[in-house]
Amino acid sequence: MSTKPLRHLLDIESLSVEAIHQILSTAKSYQLKKTLTTPDLLGKEVCNAFFESSTRTRCSFELAAKRLGAQVINFDVKTSSTQKGESLLDTFMALAAMGVDAFVVRHSESGIPQFLSEHLSPTVSVINAGDGHHAHPTQALLDVLTIQQHKSDLKSLSIAIVGDLSHSRVARSQVALFRKLEISDIRLIAPAGMIPTDLRGPNLSHYTQLNEGLQDADVVIALRIQQERMKNAEIPNFAEYFQHYGIKPENLSHAKKDAIVLHPGPINREIDIASVVADGPQSVILQQITNGVLIRMAILKLLLNSQLK
Ligand code: NCD
């Protein structure tokens, strides 16, 4: 049976398990290549449209597109016509009319990438680079690639995600991806008020005690406290938060000896995680960033060449 190739990457839920493996194996093939650049997207135009700040995601999409031979436009929100009252859709339609093949979109409002995918010309691809609390699929994929580089049997892993789950699009995409890959022990560790109701269900367990949730974990993922998404009353006392939920050496000692530590970045040092852990031997945080380029190369290549099934 032939299925239509995917045009957009909006969330993990809309990817088949086959598509997920296709992305991961394409990323690995780029890792093995000796030369940095390949002509897989020669003649294509990619537009980065970030309505929220970003270092890792934006720069790695730009590098990924350039390494594939594509042209890149970095759309500057501050100096664009959206400041003159132009509608978001009109702005994107104008850019599409210039010949953009793919938009990489980050927005503080959930659902904007989906909206654009439904209203732009069907020849244009939309890639979600993080929308509100909703999804950040490329981050979850690069996290799995990083985990695979250290751990062989994914399904048997115990993975703990720690921190500000309620505001985290990263955690939502990670949970969706871990479930698709049939990882049976996914632990969510957060203060009681920070475990959102949509992150419940099969394969998920909740902990409010950090050390209990980390017991014998293979993978520990720390999340950033998302101050910009909090209403005033929610902002915790950071010293107290760090004491209870920051990943410190004494907490990590409850996980397996060979546990790896991830963080999507940017890191709030001595709030989400102690520097000795973030920079320590179990940390794979910089490797995640390196893998971000590979995953984004794979996604751009597969989507723009109509190869993602
Ligand atoms: C994440 C994001 O923006 O959602 N960062 C990232 O893309 N590397 C996580 C965060 O901001 O905390």
CA 239 to ligand 1 centroid distance, Å: 22
Question: Is 57 one of the catalytic residues?
Answer: yes
Q: Is the CB of 288 under 6 A from ligand 1?
A: no
The alpha carbon of 253 and the centre of ligand 1 are apart by a number of angstroms equal to 26
- Residue closest to 290 by CA, chosen among 145, 185, 82: 145
Instruction: Say which of 4, 34, 78, 84 is annotated catalytic.
Output: 84
Q: Which position among 26, 57, 138, 146 bears the catalytic label?
A: 57
Cα dihedral 53→55→59→61 (10° resolution): -60
Instruction: Give the pLDDT score at 201.
Output: 84
Q: What pLDDT score was predicted for residue 36?
A: 80
Q: What is the pLDDT of residue 2?
A: 58
pLDDT at 196: 85
DSSP conformation letters of 68-110? TT-EEEEE-GGGSGGGGT--HHHHHHHHHHTT--EEEEEESST
Residues of the chain with pLDDT below 70 are 1-2, 229, 231-235
Query: 173: how many CB neighbours lie within 10 A of its CB?
Result: 24
Q: Looking at residue 200, what is its pLDDT?
A: 86
Q: What's the pTM?
A: 0.96
Is 229 a pocket residue for ligand 1 (Cβ < 6 Å)?
no
Ligand 1 atom closest to residue 52's alpha carbon, by position in its atom list: 3
State residue 142's pLDDT score: 98
Examine the residue annotation and report whether 84 is marked as an active-site residue of this protein: yes
